[in-house]
Structure 1
């Protein structure tokens, strides 16, 4: 998805209108990208009071002195804070911790827009309050203390902050038509007996497989954390963000702009209060929206109740965030089209499996037979597996999937759990010929008599896909991209077929 070019001389809109549109643009980043800014500059002329009537607030006084100035036209870093603060919390002044902490870097000179989620359990020094989890900064001192804590942690400039209530996220996703996302496994918790996850755990029931996630399911998916880790949760949020950015176009935002502005006004606060700064940021957002989203994984280790990171790792991830590069193809990870003579021979030999992999047993084939009986197309299954991994037959399934026009297709998902906490990879197939997840491959490669499409997230393979007959198939990496490129290619080359 890309924004239309911006005119050299956009219409001069009133300051109040600029602010409303900026808020819309930045919150839509959570569910689509900054394309709303294009709409603001080209079309919107009659909605300047919508945000104020909705009751939105400002953070400009609270954050004064905490944020960094930015040169006109220069790149900017925006801190997005998500919380589940309710009306009763505001009324009673109850402390609320930030449930989601995302940094967004807008810099059109780079080949991508950088997005990085910070684990809410990250162990940090909170200025004036000792050591605690990073989300405690929000409870103690709101967005201002969150900004100061993150600046001290990563030593990067933060130019603006947007505080988003999750009610707005849920409603915005619904208004924008939901988001197709690749759900790696089943997410389930029911606090009622006999399931009993406990009152501290949110209820959720999202099944595995590529599917359209709407409001509450989308929110449950990105917020889920128990039975995996805070780092996996951050990766899940980044995946959903990237999926949303790639799928939701300007046309949808145009048509629903009044309703969206009311949502943003009710559930969003920001620091920005200068008309010229708004216009510069809008232009920057438009230019950046044309770049792909690059997820920057946060390095860390689980240490008791905390996520910890060494100073060296923090310095490295900050450098990657500020100097983001677009996704790149790594031809050294497997056979290329220049090695046709050896590809077929290698693909049939278990002896050439990369380290950490082994030949699979018959479980995947048995499951494929069951799935094939429910589907009108062939089922591919992996004949190789990661060492220590196990097929999750309870999570694997055949199901219906619908495109945005309401046309029904069939699909299946085979789920494999690795020995890493919260790390699942999978095989998907569908007779939907054009699922959005397979738009814009990074590279096409011929191996073993089959053409594969490769999708990279930075230097790591996220998806390897192929087509057979009227169906499409793909191997999905884990949320944290824990499978190496060689392992991803080996899985794809190993597949067998049940008609």
Structure 2
């Protein structure tokens, strides 16, 4: 959406046509999870799945690294990112009780969407799989992003030490940081917040990167973003969706944490919902998220 808003040189229609050709489109939503409308008018709910599915073995068993409900209120001028804990203990249709991210391994995006709808009661206007490893290239093309580290931590993947403060990070470093959860005060809940922070940082950098005067970089970014996405637009032409929400900026994103806590059951660590969670899910379904967030500031993530 930011790329389209910066398309002063190439022209909006030409840019959207090129972008649409670069993005893979599939039916990602289970029919029980799908919202029955085909117009781009708020409120809207989208399921965003973070995975390395497109970069690695597409046939191998994988679990969703990130599960986010993106709620866009009427007016399409804001977006709430509601992160579902990947270790949340739920009933997965046909597979019994398990962590919610296991649904992606069992039945890919359709089964995961069915599990999320069964948990929350939310039906979706569309869905997207984001290849976060592919976003490394996007971040690097933007010249890196600024990520603010509030708790010093060491990467369990690379041994890299992240010191407190705001730092300019390359794609590899930003993703390394965003994937950490061990030794952080809130564990996986901090990791969820860092994923939201990274998406906001990418949006902020793209907004101010001078793309309108650099058609070559703009074209490179279109291809890089397109190669990192698989979308289900619920029958809406992708260009209509992009045009409708092209005005969203980094400052319009609000990150929310689903009220939950970690608990070990039978030797396995799960996340279990806390009392405010059902009210949050109802607020998403009923387009009352702003009011819920105002009444529950504890669950607003600092991005």
Do they superpose with TM above 0.5? yes
Aligned to 1:325, what secondary structure does the other structure show? helix
Per-residue Cα deviation, 1:75-96 (whole angstroms, up to 9, x for no partner): 2111111112365512xx2111
Per the alignment, residue 46 of structure 2 pairs with: 78
1:235 equivalenced with 2:193 (yes/no): yes
Q: Report the Cα offset of residue 184 of structure 1.
A: 1.1
Q: Is the 8 A contact 1:112 1:324 kept in 2?
A: no
Unaligned runs of 5+ in 2: none
Q: Which residue of 1 aligns with 2:260?
A: 300
Q: Distance in 2 between matches of 1:94 and 1:212?
A: 34
SS of the residue aligned with 2:257?
coil
Cα distance between partner residues in 2 of 1:320 and 1:130: 27
- State the shift of 1:320 in Å: 4.5
CA distance in 2, matches of 1:285, 1:306: 36
Task: Provide the TM-score with structure 1 as the length reference.
Answer: 0.51
Q: Which of 289, 293, 318 lines up with 2:281 in the alignment?
A: 318
Q: CA deviation at 1:167?
A: 2.3
| Deviation at residue 187 of structure 1 after TM alignment | 2.3
Residues of 2 paired with 1:460 and 1:111: CA distance? 23
Mapping 1:144-159, distance limit 5 Å? 144-159=110-125
Unaligned runs of 5+ in 1: 1-24, 26-34, 190-196, 331-457, 463-478, 482-499
Alignment match, 2:219 = 258
Aligned: 1:57 with 2:24? yes
Q: CA deviation at 1:206?
A: 2.3
Task: Tell me the TM-score normalized by structure 2.
Answer: 0.81
Indicate yes or no: 2:53 matched with 1:89: no
The 1:37–1:212 alpha-carbon spacing in structure 2 relative to 1, beyond 3 Å, is same
1:249 alignment partner, one of 184, 207, 218: 207
Q: Measure how far apart 1:281 and its partner are.
A: 2.0
SS in 1 for 2:134: helix
Work out whether residues 104 and 115 of structure 1, in 8 Å CA contact, stay in contact via their aligned partners in 2: yes
Cα distance in 1 for partners of 2:222, 2:282 equals 35
Q: Cα distance, 1:202 vs. partner?
A: 5.5
Q: Deviations over 1:298-348 (max 9, x none)?
A: 1101101100004x4331222444423399999xxxxxxxxxxxxxxxxxx
**The structure with more helix, counted as a fraction of residues:** 2
Q: Which residue of 1 aligns with 2:273?
A: 309
Provide the C-alpha distance between the structure 2 equivalents of 1:241 and 1:323, rounded to a whole number of angstroms: 23
Q: What is the CA distance between 1:123 and its match in structure 2? A: 0.9
Report deviation, 1:68: 1.4
Aligned length: 288
Matches within 5 A, 1:257-296: 257-272=218-233, 274=235, 277-289=237-249, 292-296=252-256
Q: Shift of residue 147 of structure 1?
A: 0.9
Q: 1:296 touches 1:320 (CA, 8 Å); kept in 2?
A: no
Give the drift of 1:283.
3.5
Give 3-state SS (helix, strand or coil) of 1:220's partner.
helix
- Between the aligned partners of 2:194 and 2:55, the Cα distance in structure 1 is 28
Q: Tell me the distance in 1 between the aligned counterparts of 2:221 and 2:118.
A: 34
Q: Equivalent of 1:68, from 10, 14, 35?
A: 35
2:181 aligned partner: 225
Secondary structure of the structure 2 residue equivalent to 1:211: strand
What aligned pairs does 1:344-359 form with structure 2 within 5 A after superposition?
Answer: none
1:342-365, CA deviations, whole angstroms, 9 ceiling, x for partnerless residues? xxxxxxxxxxxxxxxxxxxxxxxx
